[in-house]
Amino acid sequence: MVVTAPTNGAAGIIPAAIEYLRRDTKVPAEKIKRGLVVAALIGFVIKENASISGAELGCMAEVGTASAMAAALFAFCFDAKTNEIITAAEIAIEHHLGMTCDPIMGLVQVPCIERNAKGVVKAYNSFLLATTRESEGLITFDQVVEVMRQTGKDLSEKYKETAKGGLATSFGWGNMPGS
Ligand code: SF4
């Protein structure tokens, strides 16, 4: 079963976050469920104002969105304040900006799977940053979503699920390290 939260390519991040919360914390199941609604809200705002499609904006829209959703989920489950939940999501997106979608042979496999693993770690770190920082953030969640939209529009089509650039075409080069 694949739960597209928000997409197939980024379907590992939310489940990984849930597994961590279920297995390694004492967060009640009901709270995790409510946290998923918060995560869904974050994903919905991004979908409406930018995109959650790698074919439209690159991988930042898929893995970046999933990471922002998971960051909000973590923050909610660990009793962060509302502004900290939103800041956690903002930070997660910020550090995915510019990430290309360049799956080898166009298959949602490499680098996608590892990006999911990294995305959930970034989500947790974003939650930590949002809840421990002492300074005020300079950029809002809405602003970073708009930046993601603009950055994605500027990306070459080569990096939007076409497998025409980046990792997709460098795979198998004779001059690559280890080849
Ligand atoms: S690289 Fe492309 S296909 Fe893979 S997860 Fe990112 S957006 Fe999806």
- What are 74-95's pLDDT values in tens digits? 999 999 999 999 999 999 999 9
In this model, does residue 177 exceed pLDDT 70? no
Q: What are the start-end ranges of the H helices in 28-163?
A: 29-49, 54-57, 59, 65-77, 82-94, 112-132, 141-154
- pLDDT of 171: 75
127-174 tens-digit pLDDT: 999 999 998 889 999 999 999 999 999 999 999 999 999 999 887 666
Q: What is the pLDDT of residue 5?
A: 87
Residue 87 lies inside a defined structural domain of this protein: yes
> Looking at the domain assignment, is residue 179 inside a domain?
no
- The verdict on the CB of residue 62 being under 6 Å from ligand 1 is yes
Q: Indicate if the pLDDT at residue 176 is higher than 70.
A: no
Atom in ligand 1 nearest the alpha carbon of residue 61? 7
Examine residue 4 and state whether it is found in any structural domain, yes or no.
Answer: no
Tell me, what's the pLDDT at 179?
Answer: 46
| Residue 9 CB less than 6 A away from ligand 1 | yes
Specify if 8 maps to a domain: no
| 1 is a domain residue | no
Q: Torsion over CA of 157, 159, 98 and 19, rounded to 10 degrees?
A: 130
Three-class DSSP category at 32: helix
Atom of ligand 1 nearest to the CA of 54: 7
Closest residue (by CA) to atom 2 of ligand 1? 101
Amino acid at 68: A
- Per-residue tokens: 1: 């079963």
* 177 located within any domain: no
Domains identified in the chain, total number: 1
Q: What is the pLDDT of residues 117-126, one digit of tens each?
A: 999 999 999 9
Check residue 3 and give its pLDDT. Answer: 73
Q: For residue 154, what are its two tokens?
A: 């500027």
The predicted model scores a pTM of: 0.95
User: Burial, 73: exposed, middle or buried (Cβ in 10 Å; 0-12, 13-18, 19+)?
Assistant: buried
pLDDT tens for 28-63 read 999 999 999 999 999 999 999 999 999 999 999 999
Q: What is residue 174's predicted lDDT score, i.e. its pLDDT?
A: 60
Q: Tell me the residue range of the domain where 35 lies.
A: 13-170
Cα end-to-end distance, the chain, whole Å = 36
Does a structural domain hold residue 80?
A: yes
> What pLDDT shows up at residue 1?
73
Asked if residue 16 has pLDDT above 50, the reply is yes
Count the neighbouring beta carbons within 10 Å of the beta carbon of residue 10. Answer: 28
Residue 5 lies in a domain: no
Rounded Cα distance, 132 and 75, in Å: 11
